[in-house]
Every structure is written in C-alpha cells, then in structure tokens.
Amino acid sequence: MDKKVVLITGCSSGIGLSLAVRLSQVAAFCLVYATMRNMAKKERLLECVKGLHKDTLDILQMDVTDQQSILDARDRVVEKRVDILVCNAGMGLMGPLEIQSLDSMRRIMEVNLLGTIQTIQAFLPDMKAQDKGRILVTGSTGGLHGLPFNEVYCASKFAIEGACESLAVLLQHFNIHVSLIECGPVNTDFLVNLQKAELGDASLQKVDAHTLSLYERYLQHCGSVFQNAAQDTEDIVKVFLDAIQSPCPAFRYFTSGVVPPLIKLKITEPDGSRYISAMSKIIFSAEEQ
Ligand SMILES: NC(=O)c1ccc[n+]([C@@H]2O[C@H](COP(=O)([O-])OP(=O)(O)OC[C@H]3O[C@@H](n4cnc5c(N)ncnc54)[C@H](OP(=O)(O)O)[C@@H]3O)[C@@H](O)[C@H]2O)c1
C-alpha cells in the first residue's frame, strides 16, 4: 500500500507538533511533512521524535500568510503530491474590542482565515487532478458560538466554518473529504502565543470601568476553564486519527466526543437569546451576585 503523504501547518508547538509526532510513528501508513513558519523552533519537534522516524518525518518552513513560502514548501514535497492536508496554524486575540488595532485584527484574519484558505488553494488543484484527498482543519468551538472578548478570533473561526462547509459540498464531487476537528480548550502554547490585553496594560486605561470588571471576570473564568477542563493534545490527535482513518469521514468532529450543550442550544433555540443569556451567566455570574 502506498504511504499517505501528510502535510501539517503550525507544527512548532501544540496540536500540530503532537499530530506530526504521532503520525510519523505510524510508519507503515504515513510520510509526514511538518511545517512551521520559524525553523529556529524545530528543535522541540526533533526532541519529541528523539532522532527516530527520519524516514517518515521531514520539517519544512511554511508561513501560511506568505504565499511564496506555501508554494516553496509544496514544491519541496518529494512525492509531488499531498494526500492529507492538515490546516492547523492559528492564533488568538483577546481583550475588549475597542482597544484592538486594525493591524492586530488583520493579523488574526490573515493567519486563521486567509492563511488556511491560501494553503488549501495551493494544494487543491493537485488533489482535484488526483480525484482524491483529505483536508482537515483545526476548528474551534469558538467558531460555532460567540465568546466575549474574543470577537475577532471567533469571527475568524466562524468564517473558517463557512469556507470549509462550502468547499465540502463541492469537493465531494472530487472524492476529496473536508473535515473540521472542533476543539474546546486544549493544553498548548495557545494562551502564551495569543495577543492578549493584560489587566494593567496602558491600552486598557481608556476602557470604561464596567467593561474592565467584566474582562477581569472573563479572565478568571478562562483561567479556570483551562485549568479544569482543557484536553491534552493526545486527545485531539486521537480524533484526527479517527478522521484520517475513516473510509468515509464526517464533516465535523467534536474532540469532547459529543456536541457541547451550548452548541446544541444554538440549534434548538435558533433565535439566539437563550445562548446569549446562558453564556453570559456561565462567564459573568460572579459579577452579577
Ligand atoms: N489550544 C486551544 O485551546 C485551542 C482551542 C480551539 C482551537 N484551537 C486551534 O488549534 C490550532 C493550533 O493551536 P494550538 O492550540 O496548538 O496553539 P499553539 O501551540 O500556539 O500552536 C499554534 C501554531 O500555529 C503556528 N502559527 C501561527 N501563525 C502562523 C503562520 N503565520 N504560519 C504558520 N504557522 C503559524 C504557531 O507557530 P509559531 O510558534 O511560530 O507562533 C504554532 O506552531 C489553532 O488553529 C487554534 O486556533 C486551539
């Protein structure tokens, strides 16, 4: 059986790194191209594979916001085809909307939305020509329901849902399966790497006191959710493997195994008011007491 050629974006840490390590261990099945924008960060991945899997893992530079770097990485794939494309690179932006600069907001959209789309664009013609392929995208529950103080991040992830769902309808005619792996909180470098307004930052001085107190409450909530309920990257990798190994993969996979209740609420109560009050209560209830 021909090995599947897998290319993954954002492998310097977190989900991408764990997925690259795990897939490179399934030597009978995969050849892995782990890509990252900053090759100075490759030691962490190399340490994780401990010098093993030289035949199944290669590391390439790829910045998803730089079209030339995507095309260069594509051209360095020895097999001249990618069977499984994993669009995983992403970053967060957190804080009151009124302090976000146009540059920061553009950056998030460029990485999370346009970066994902232009990566898919680069590999799509070859997949169509082969009449087969898999595209997996690391989605977020923040792409299915809104989260206060994450407006632009959620907008980028909501947009990914629309782009992927639209593509999935078309690509089934080319035997190309698109799947979103919808993650809740995961223990990665995400919280370290995200652009976040810290309490005490000069940028927050112009924000009104009520918003600031809600933001403080949100940060506490977020900290406790990550501390108590975050999944490990291995849990996420298992879901990726399920999708990759399924002969007929679903469009959406929830890493918690079930549709989270707040997302169900959006479907059962489509006017949205119950979702908004439920989420507000969960995050800000201490503020109201
Ligand atoms: N962790 C969570 O709670 C969570 C929840 C839901 C969804 N997700 C999604 O999961 C994905 C992976 O995030 P993670 O949790 O593993 O966080 P992470 O550890 O911060 O990893 C993010 C990866 O994306 C890379 N990246 C950022 N900008 C890039 C660019 N322009 N080109 C190429 N790579 C770039 C980062 O590279 P650098 O090291 O160079 O910055 C890093 O390798 C993201 O799409 C994120 O939105 C995460």
pLDDT digits (tens, 9 = 90+) for 18-38: 999 999 988 678 999 999 999
| Ligand 1 centroid to residue 265 C-alpha, Å | 28
Ligand 1: residue whose CA is nearest its atom 47: 90
Q: Please give the pLDDT value at position 1.
A: 64
| Closest Cα to atom 42 of ligand 1 | 10
Average pLDDT over residues 110-132: 98
The ligand 1 atom at the shortest distance from the C-alpha of residue 115 is 31
The per-residue pLDDT for 77 is: 98
Which residues lie closer than 8 Å to 44 by C-beta, 6 or more apart?
Answer: 12, 13, 17
Q: Can you give the residue ranges of every domain in the chain?
A: 4-198+231-258
DSSP 2-71: PPEEEEES--SSHHHHHHHHHHHH-TTTEEEEEEES-GGGHHHHHHHHTT--TTTEEEEE--TT-HHHHH
Band (102; pLDDT cuts 50, 70, 90): very high
Count CB-CB contacts under 10 A for residue 120: 20
Task: Kindly tell me if the per-residue pLDDT of 289 is higher than 80.
Answer: no
Task: Write out the two tokens for 30.
Answer: 């995969």
**What value does the mean pLDDT take over residues 116-127?**
98
Q: Quick: pLDDT tens for 196-219.
A: 999 999 999 999 999 999 999 999
Q: Which amino acid is at 71?
A: L
pLDDT band at 54 (very low <50, low <70, confident <90, very high): confident
State in Å: Cα 86 to ligand 1 middle.
Answer: 12
Mean pLDDT in residue range 172-176: 98
pLDDT value of residue 50: 82
Give residue ranges with CB within 6 A of ligand 1: 9-16, 36-38, 41, 63-65, 88-91, 111, 115, 138, 140, 183, 185-186, 188-190, 193
11 pLDDT more than 50: yes
Give the residue-averaged pLDDT of 271-275.
95
Q: Which atom of ligand 1 is nearest to the CA of 153?
A: 47
- Å from CA of 66 to ligand 1 middle: 16
Element containing residue 122 per DSSP (H, E): helix 116-130
Strand partners, 36: 61
Annotated binding site for substrate: 140
Q: Which of 170, 143, 146 is nearest to 159 (CA)?
A: 143
The number of the ligand 1 atom at minimal distance from the alpha carbon of 92 is 47
Tell me if 18 sits within 8 A of 237, measured CB to CB.
yes
CB atoms within 10 A of CB 21: 23
Atom of ligand 1 nearest to the CA of 15: 16
Residue that has been written with the tokens 């993969």 in this structure = 249
Fold category of 4-198+231-258 in CATH: Rossmann fold (3.40.50)
Own/partner pairs for 64-69, CB < 8 Å, 24+ apart?
A: 64/9, 64/10, 64/37, 64/89, 64/111, 64/115, 64/116, 64/118, 64/119, 65/110, 65/111, 65/114, 65/115, 66/37, 67/118, 67/122, 69/37
Mean pLDDT over 273-280 rounds to 96
Tokens of 115: 């970066």
Name the residues annotated as catalytic: 153
Taking CA atoms only, the protein residue closest to ligand 1 atom 23 is 10
Q: What percent of the chain has pLDDT over 70?
A: 98
**Cα 282 to ligand 1 centroid, rounded to whole Å:** 26
Averaged pLDDT for residues 126-148: 98
Residue 286 pLDDT greater than 50, yes or no: yes
> Which tens digits make up the pLDDT trace of 212-269?
999 999 999 999 999 999 999 999 999 999 999 999 999 999 999 889 999 999 999 9
Residue 3 CA: distances (Å) to CA of 53, 68, 82, 126, 132: 14, 27, 11, 17, 14
Q: Which residues are annotated as a binding site for NADP(+)?
A: 10-37, 63, 157
For the cut 70, the answer to whether the pLDDT of residue 173 exceeds it is: yes
Mean pLDDT of 140-159: 98
User: Looking at the predicted structure, is the pLDDT value of residue 53 above 80?
Assistant: no
Q: Which of 9, 11, 13 to mutate to test the pocket of ligand 1 (most atoms within 8 A of CB)?
A: 13
pLDDT at 243: 97
Percent of the chain with pLDDT over 90: 91
Relative to beta strand 93-94, strand 4-8 is: unpaired
- Mean of pLDDT over the chain: 95
Q: How far is the CA of 113 from the centre of ligand 1 (A)?
A: 13
Do 150 and 103 touch, CB atoms closer than 8 A?
A: no
Side chain identity at residue 164, one-letter code: C
